[in-house]
Amino acid sequence: MNITKQGSTPINVECYSGGRADETPRRIIVGDQIHVITRLIEEWLDETSATKEQTHRYRVLTEAGVTLEITRSSDGQWFLI
């Protein structure tokens, strides 16, 4: 089941997997548009106090010069904020 979080769009993300799975996002796919990531600006981890669910958040710069914020939920789904 695909659950959309409020204020976010489900996306596909291609990552470079090094020592850990899904280590660094490389490309964001939204519909038929592909955004190549040229720089990882910031990465952080949010955790809800009630459920202890962790969400990975990334702020990235694309080759078009656009800054995007994306998240990966604990179940592996990606969203564009």
Predicted confidence (pLDDT) per residue in 18-38, tens digit? 666 557 899 999 999 999 999
Question: Is position 44 within any domain?
Answer: yes
Residue 7 neighbours by CB distance under 10 Å: 8
Count of structural domains within the chain: 1
CA pair distance 73, 53, nearest whole angstrom: 8
Domain with 63, as residue range(s), is 9-80
Tens-place pLDDT, residues 6-16: 568 999 999 98
Could you list the beta-strand ranges (E) of 1-81: 9-16, 24-30, 33-47, 54-62, 67-72, 78-80
Question: Is position 1 within any domain?
Answer: no
Question: Is position 22 within any domain?
Answer: yes
Strand partners, 46: 55
Question: Is position 73 within any domain?
Answer: yes
Question: Is position 2 within any domain?
Answer: no
